[in-house]
Amino acid sequence: MKKLLFALTLFLILPNLLHAQKDTLYVYGPGGPFAPIDECAQLFGEKNDIVVKVMAGPEDRWIEKAKQNADLIYGGAEYMLTAFSMKHKDFLDNTTRTELYKRGASILVRPGNPKQINSLRDLIKKDIAILDVNGAGQLGLWEDIAGKQDAIGGIQKNIKESFGNTALGIEAWKTDKSFDAWINYQSWHYRLKDITQVVILPAAINVYRGTPIALTAISKHKKMSEKFITFMKSKEGHDIFKKWGWE
């Protein structure tokens, strides 16, 4: 009787034990590329019977956890992952570094575009208040674009306030309605559709940033991590990135 009860108990709890033991890939990086990478993670996880957890935001929010279990680190621009690698020596396996896809900049404005901002030069008009993020993948972004139209000085005069990362920029955009425009990646419009409208910049003056990713030196799932990168580089993965504003 005892053996029968033990066998029955084991039969009932074994599926839960197996589920609890399912492998997990841990992926960390800034908020910008989170949406497409997380969507790829969910689909890849279903296809490969593995959990892929993507944790995003400013580095100080996740770096301590990443040092314990990170399999992959991604950046919102090539310089961001390079800076991360320089700051955390030997944490990344730079031989695995891969460029995923590029994304272009745009002008984000208020829904309905009340200030009728339709081009970069509209940003130098009087009474335009610009929000600026001076970091987090946007470092130098507006200046690189404005320099192509001799508009650096005019735009600088209209920058109302600068913020250190996108999370702070989003909070300011939500709470301070006096901001009229934000030179940011087009991809952010897809994350903020309810509070932004996008003004597309011509390719001739646009600026693009990459989306790099690399395995960590401490990864416990190197083969599966490489497989996840391969999946994101596939047509299926590329379609997801394009849906979120990448090229």
Q: What is the pLDDT of residues 208-222, one digit of tens each?
A: 999 999 999 999 999
List the structure tokens of 115. Answer: 């200030």
Going by pLDDT thresholds of 50, 70 and 90, the confidence category of residue 15 is low
Residue 224 has pLDDT above 90, yes or no: yes
- Report the pLDDT value the prediction gives residue 189, as an integer from 0 to 100: 97
What pLDDT score was predicted for residue 135?
Answer: 87
- pLDDT at residue 128 tops 90: yes
Considering the domain delimited by 19-101+210-243, tell me its CATH architecture. Answer: 3-Layer(aba) Sandwich (3.40)
Higher pLDDT, 16 or 67: 67
Burial 39-78 (b: 16+ CB within 10 A, else e): bbbebbbeeeebebebebbbbeebbeebeeebbbbbbbbb
**CATH, domain 103-208, list 3.40.50.410, 3.50.50.60, 3.40.50.2300, 3.40.190.10:** 3.40.190.10
52 and 41 Cβ atoms separated by less than 8 Å: yes
Q: Is the pTM of this model over 0.75?
A: yes
Q: How far is CA 126 from CA 75, 116, 159, 198, in A?
A: 36, 13, 12, 21
pLDDT digits (tens, 9 = 90+) for 158-190: 999 999 999 999 999 999 999 999 999 999 999
Fold: same for 19-101+210-243 and 103-208: yes
Identify the residue with better confidence: 140 or 12.
140
Beta 212-215 vs 98-99: how paired, if at all? antiparallel
Closest CA to 128 of 199, 189, 190, 70: 199
- The answer, yes or no, to whether residue 52 has pLDDT greater than 50, is yes
| pLDDT for the residue 21 | 52
pLDDT at 231 over 80: yes
Flag whether pLDDT at 100 surpasses 60: yes
Residue-wise pLDDT for 63-76, tens only, equals 999 999 999 999 99
> Which segment of 94-98, 135-139, 167-171, 205-209 scores lowest on mean pLDDT?
135-139
Contacts with 230 (C-beta within 8 Å, 6 or more apart), sequence order? none
Domains of the chain, residue spans:
19-101+210-243, 103-208
Chain mean pLDDT for the chain:
93
